Amino acid sequence: MGYGRDSQAEEILLDTKHKDPGRHAIHLKLLEMYLAHTDAKPFLALAQELRAATGGVGADWEKAASMGRQLAPDNPLFGNPASHG
């Protein structure tokens, strides 16, 4: 069902991310793929990497956190933007 193509795309994105780790758009594209396949393990690992890179702030992290809340709503990594204390 196209997973072979996704697998090839994943390899290309991972290679690109390795060569240019500052391109957060690559992280987001990978996160979208992992979310689509409900693949929590690589999603969480990559989300942690992106959070460290962004300091947990900015549009890229907000987009990733939103996806993370869909995949793992109870994971404290993604927090809840509505709960400010």
Please indicate, yes or no, if residue 51 is contained in any of the structural domains: yes
55: containing domain: 3-73
pLDDT at 51: 96
Q: What is the DSSP string of 9-78?
A: HHHHHHHHHHH-TT-HHHHHHHHHHHHHTT-HHHHHHHHHHHHHHHTT-SHHHHHHHHHHHHH-TT-GGG
Residue 83 belongs to a domain? no
Residue 17 contacts residue 50 (beta carbons within 8 Å): no
Dump pLDDT digits (tens) for 18-72.
999 999 999 999 999 999 999 999 999 999 999 999 999 999 999 999 999 999 9
pTM, entire model: 0.86
Domain membership flag for residue 81: no
Contact 30, 10 (CB under 8 A): yes
- Number of domains the chain is built from: 1
**Is 63 among the domain residues?**
yes
